[in-house]
């Protein structure tokens, strides 16, 4: 009876936290892409599933900024922006290496990425979008993982990229981006545009609160958008780009704002003087 309960084999615990469900995960990842055709626009973002369990701690992520799901599972997803269908996903874990099994035959091939080496966080986006390599689709993302390095990497892989970016990212064109000190001195709604023609990337900075964007899928020409205001939908021009050098744009906009304030003060003074004059006698 003792020999039936004692084992002398050295059983190594699998390092993959998802080793029990890995076959099912790989099956789902391989089958999701077969039921629909991706559109022109793909949205890459993270999905959070709340979890209050004390188990599977290597998979649970804590984020105090989430009001409802501070403890949650984090899943990186790539979905069509039109149909909202998820074509690719990747489950986040605290493992030391990437345990996602290859989903295609050419997994591990050396991509022509040049000297661009994205960080580990941006590598998740590359793993999700690698199935669209060479398709020239547009990848949309938020400022959590968007960067100049990622835009150039996706461009070398044959995909375009568009998304907001944090102002403290490395390699940002800071001369063409507003900072927090200019919120009160520059007119609201002003914008700056920087273009790197050799790399095919543009940077846009818009001032309400400071919003910075990077794109390899757009041009600097005038564009139109459809906006719904109440029950009506109308076409509007979001912005017009000023044809001024980027190193002088902030000064030009500041001078324009000062001129506008001076013109308003002059008009108010003329109106006040006119109200104090005596009416003409008949």
| Pair (92, 157) in one structural domain | no
Band the pLDDT of 139: cuts 50, 70, 90: very high
Spell out the residues 6+ positions from residue 83 whose beta carbon is closer than 8 angstroms to its own.
36, 39
Compute φ and ψ for 238, nearest 5 degrees: -65, -40
Q: Are residues 148 and 212 in the same domain?
A: yes
What's the whole-number mean pLDDT along residues 156-185?
Answer: 83
Q: What is the mean pLDDT of residues 52-69?
A: 77
Question: How much is the pLDDT for 140?
Answer: 92
Contact 213, 195 (CB under 8 A): no
Find the largest Cα–Cα distance for the chain: 126
What's the CA gap between 80 and 86, in Å, rounded?
A: 7
Cβ atoms of 121 and 153 within 8 Å: the answer is: no
Domain that holds residue 19: 12-101
Same domain, 145 and 94: no
258 belongs to a structural domain = yes
Q: How far is it, in rounded angstroms, from Cα 35 to Cα 120?
A: 30
Is 206 part of any domain? yes
Report yes or no on 200 lying in a domain: yes
Classify residue 18: in a domain, yes or no: yes
Q: What is the pLDDT of residue 58?
A: 77
Two structure tokens written together for 205: 């900075």
Lowest mean pLDDT among 20-24, 41-45, 143-147, 270-274: 270-274
User: What is the total count of domains within the chain?
Assistant: 2
Q: Do 80 and 143 fall into the same domain? A: no
Domain end position, chosen among 72, 101, 130? 101
246 with 174, same domain?
A: yes
């Amino acid at each position: 009876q003792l020999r039936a309960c004692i084992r002398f084999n050295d059983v190594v615990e699998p390092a993959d936290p998802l080793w029990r469900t890995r076959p099912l995960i790989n099956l789902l990842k391989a089958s999701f892409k077969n039921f629909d055709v991706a559109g022109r626009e793909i949205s890459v973002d993270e999905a959070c599933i709340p979890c209050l369990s004390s188990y599977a701690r290597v998979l649970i992520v804590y984020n105090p900024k989430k009001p409802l799901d501070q403890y949650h599972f984090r899943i990186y997803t790539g979905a069509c922006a039109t149909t909202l269908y998820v074509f690719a996903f990747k489950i986040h874990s605290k493992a030391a290496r990437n345990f996602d099994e290859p989903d295609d035959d050419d997994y591990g091939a050396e991509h022509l990425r040049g000297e661009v080496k994205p960080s580990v966080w941006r590598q998740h986006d590359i793993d999700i979008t690698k199935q669209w390599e060479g398709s020239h689709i547009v990848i949309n993302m938020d400022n959590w993982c968007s960067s100049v390095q990622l835009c150039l990497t996706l461009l070398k892989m044959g995909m375009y990229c568009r998304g907001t970016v944090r102002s403290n990212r490395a390699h940002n064109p800071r001369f063409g981006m507003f900072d927090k000190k200019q919120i009160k001195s520059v007119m609201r709604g002003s914008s700056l545009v920087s273009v790197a023609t050799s790399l095919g990337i543009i940077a846009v900075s818009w001032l309400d609160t400071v919003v910075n964007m990077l794109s390899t899928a757009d041009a600097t020409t005038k564009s139109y958008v459809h906006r719904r205001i109440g029950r009506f939908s109308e076409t509007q021009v979001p912005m017009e780009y000023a044809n001024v050098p980027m190193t002088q744009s902030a000064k030009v906009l500041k001078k324009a704002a000062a001129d506008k304030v001076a013109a308003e003060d002059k008009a108010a003074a003329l109106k006040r003087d006119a109200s104090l004059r005596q009416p003409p006698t008949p």
